[in-house]
C-alpha cells in the first residue's frame, strides 16, 4: 500500500487524501488540520491517517523558503526536512513547475530575512548561483550557494550566512537534506570569524551611504 508524506502542510484537504490511493497511508504533522471532507474521504477510501509529532530543535528558526520552477519539487521536499528538524517555514513560492524568473523569488525570501520577519532563508533554483547573486543584493543578506555539508558548515561558522541557496539540478534530495541539516546546526561563534563578517558588513555600509 502507498505511503504519502504530507508533513509540512498545515491543512489537509480531500485532494491530499486521494493521493494516498485506496487503502494507503497519509503521513501528516501531529497538529495539521484535517478538513471534514478529507476525513470523509479517508474513511470512504480506507486511508490510514498517520500523525507524526514534530521534533523540537534546540534553536527553532522561522525560515523563508522560495524556489523557481527548477527548484519547486525540491522546495516541497525541503518543507518536510524542516518539519523533521523542528523548524517553521514561510513559503514565498513558486507554486508549480511553470516557468518563472528566479530573481523574483530569491528577492522575496531575502527581503524577509533582511526585515527580520524570518530568521534565515533557503532558496532553490536550477544551479543555486543566480538566486545567490540576487539575494546578496538585499542589504543585510549574506547568501551562500552550498553543494555539500562542509561548504554549508563553513558558510555559517566562518561567514555568518543567513541565506542558503541550492541547485536542484546539481544535488540530489538526499544531498539537500544533508546540506540543510549541517547548515541549520552550525552557528557563527568565534570572535575571529565575527570580526571578519563585520568587515563584510562594513563594505556594504560604505555603498549604502
- Which residues are the active-site residues? 158
Nearest to 177 by CA among 86, 84, 81, 87: 81
In angstroms, rounded to a whole number, what is the distance separating the alpha carbons of residues 45 and 7?
Answer: 20
SS3 call for 137: coil
In angstroms, rounded to a whole number, what is the distance separating the alpha carbons of residues 59 and 54?
Answer: 14
What are the angstrom distances between the C-alpha of 64 and each of 3, 114, 194? 28, 11, 24
In angstroms, rounded to a whole number, what is the distance separating the alpha carbons of residues 31 and 51?
Answer: 8
Q: CA 160, 165, 171, 172 torsion: positive or negative?
A: positive
Bridge partners, residue 26, by sequence: 4, 49
C-alpha torsion 99→104→108→113, nearest 10: 110
Rounded to 10 deg, the angle between the 149-157 and 173-184 helix axes is 20
Amino acid at each position: 500500500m502507498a505511503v504519502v508524506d504530507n508533513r509540512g502542510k498545515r491543512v489537509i484537504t480531500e485532494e491530499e487524501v486521494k493521493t494516498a490511493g485506496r487503502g494507503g497511508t497519509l503521513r501528516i504533522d501531529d497538529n495539521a488540520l484535517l478538513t471534514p471532507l478529507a476525513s470523509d474521504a479517508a474513511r470512504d477510501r480506507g486511508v490510514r491517517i498517520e500523525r507524526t509529532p514534530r521534533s523540537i530543535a534546540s534553536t527553532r528558526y522561522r525560515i523563508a523558503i522560495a524556489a523557481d520552477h527548477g527548484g519547486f519539487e525540491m522546495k516541497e521536499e525541503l518543507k518536510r526536512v524542516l518539519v523533521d528538524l523542528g523548524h517553521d517555514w514561510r513559503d514565498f513560492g513558486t507554486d508549480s513547475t511553470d516557468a518563472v524568473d528566479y530573481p523574483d523569488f530569491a528577492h522575496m525570501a531575502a527581503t524577509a530575512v533582511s526585515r527580520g520577519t524570518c530568521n534565515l532563508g533557503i532558496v532553490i533554483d536550477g544551479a543555486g548561483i543566480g538566486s545567490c547573486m540576487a539575494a546578496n543584493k538585499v542589504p543585510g543578506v549574506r547568501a551562500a550557494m552550498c553543494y555539500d555539508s562542509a561548504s554549508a558548515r563553513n558558510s555559517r561558522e566562518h561567514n555568518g550566512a543567513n541565506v542558503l541557496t541550492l541547485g536542484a539540478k546539481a544535488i540530489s534530495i538526499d544531498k539537500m537534506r544533508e546540506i540543510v541539516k549541517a547548515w541549520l546546526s552550525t552557528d557563527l561563534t568565534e570572535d575571529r570569524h565575527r570580526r571578519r563578517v563585520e568587515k563584510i558588513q562594513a563594505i556594504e555600509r560604505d555603498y549604502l551611504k
